[in-house]
Amino acid sequence: MIPTYFANAISLIVQTAAKQAPPPSPPPPAALLTTSSSLAASLKSSFPDQNLALLPQPYWWWQSGTAVEALLNYGPTTGDWQYEEMLKNTIVTQATATNDFMTIDATGNDDQAWWALAALTAAENKVPQLGGIAWVDLARNVFNEQRQRYEDGANTCGGGLRWKIDYEDGNNGWHYKNAITNGLFFQLAARLAHLTNDTESLAWAEKTYAWSTKVGLVDKDFNVYDGTDEENGCSDLNHNQWSYNVGVYLYGSAVMAVHTKDDKWVDRTRGFIASAKRTFTSPDTGALFESKCEGKDIDDGGCDTDQVSFKGLLARWLGAAAEILPEVKEDVEKIINAAATAVQDGEKTDLGPIESFNALEVVDASLRMQGLGGVEGVIGLGKARRTKRSVAGRISW
């Protein structure tokens, strides 16, 4: 039997070596570009109306918003702009006449926020405008509505957004203050602050992050828990962890680091990256892995229609953070390079819409981290179409 002190020493050596090891090499860019093109086409082929980027049943409206953003990022990543008119048309139609994405499907603050981020990505990517309102103003309209719904009262947990918008959803989320809703609001505020240099948005980002840590949605080790209940004063937590929850705070923190130049946000970004790596990567393959549900039968806690798409969003935000914040690039490479290899070596044909979405986010994150852009209409290396290339499809410099 190995003495305890000796076993502990070996464990420490192994952990230290793992931290110091260089990231694995990413797949070759040419191969990834071919894969990206195929995955984007596969995702688009799933839309029942080929003029609108809306996923078929049983997928949710919010997931269509994330698909729009994936394809908005695909263009400047690869230089293939063929989907742009469809994406513009989709954003405008889903914004509705009130220009705030309050469709019949927007029952939650998170539903509305996903589409606000898609509009903001269009603004950051300098997508040519369609209609009479700027992309950034669509996002700002949602931000302004949601800050009015934010509650500071002592009897409502001292802050935070509810999951649901309507009181009639009392038993289905009105009392629930969850990580994704507040994380999306945090990221939306941070990105608006950086894009428009708006101090009020910046203050809301700071405030929302502080509340998230105060109630324990984000803990000292940067684990992000699903939510808490306003009816019991947010005194306990739903400790389920999902990959998109850590991702949404991760990228919001990276934007704050760039905008404020405050090292505390760099440290926070690093903390979320470490949390993502230990919780949402497969130790066997390096692939992104939804640890709460993946690999289980649906009747035994397997991933449902929502949960299957969470890890694609983590990939998006990991790649985006690495691109705008060089200090964390190597940490992210240790995740994304292995994940991209797993995609490249895996099955890439006959994929469903969410499988295509998840794989596309991983591959495009790897491409952007390698600094690749494309020539208009050509999948390949070269100069991006727009004279001022966006970073990760979000932050323009």
Tokens 């505020």 belong to which residue? 189
Q: How many CB atoms lie within 10 A of CB 246?
A: 28
The whole-number average pLDDT for the span 89-102 is: 98
pLDDT value of position 397: 22
Is the pLDDT at 64 greater than 60? The verdict is yes
What is the per-residue pLDDT for 286?
92
Dump pLDDT digits (tens) for 219-267: 999 999 999 999 999 999 999 999 999 999 999 999 999 999 999 999 9
- For the chain, the structural domain boundaries read 32-368
Distance between CA 392 and CA 214 in Å, rounded?
30
**Using CA of residue 76, residue 43, residue 241, residue 100, what is the dihedral sign?**
positive
pLDDT tens-place string over residues 10-49: 445 445 545 566 778 999 999 999 999 999 999 999 999 9
Q: Which residues contact 351 (CB under 8 A, 6 or more apart)?
A: 39, 42, 359
| Residue 172 pLDDT class (50, 70, 90 cuts) | confident
What pLDDT sits at residue 371?
86
pLDDT for res 335: 97
Q: Which two tokens stand for residue 167?
A: 């009181």
Q: Would you say how long the chain is, in residues?
A: 397
Q: How far apart (Å, rounded) are the C-alpha atoms in residues 345 and 339?
A: 10
Q: What is the pLDDT of residue 22?
A: 76
Dihedral over alpha carbons 154, 157, 162, 168 (to 10 degrees): -60
**Position 388 pLDDT exceeds 90:** no
Predicted local confidence at residue 393, as pLDDT? 34
Q: What is the 3-state secondary structure (H, E, C) of 201-226?
A: HHHHHHHHHHHHHHCCCECCCCCECC
List, in order, residues 6 or more apart from 88 with CB less than 8 Å away: 122, 127, 128, 130
Query: What pLDDT does 385 receive?
Result: 45
CATH annotation of 32-368: 1.50.10.20
Residue 389 confidence (pLDDT) above 70: no
Output the pLDDT for position 229: 96
Round the average pLDDT of the chain to a whole number and report it. Answer: 90
Quick one: what percent of the chain has pLDDT higher than 70?
A: 88
Q: Is the peptide bond before 27 cis (omega within 30 degrees of 0)?
A: no
Contact 339, 309 (CB under 8 A): no
Count the Cβ atoms, other than its own, within 10 Å of residue 264.
11
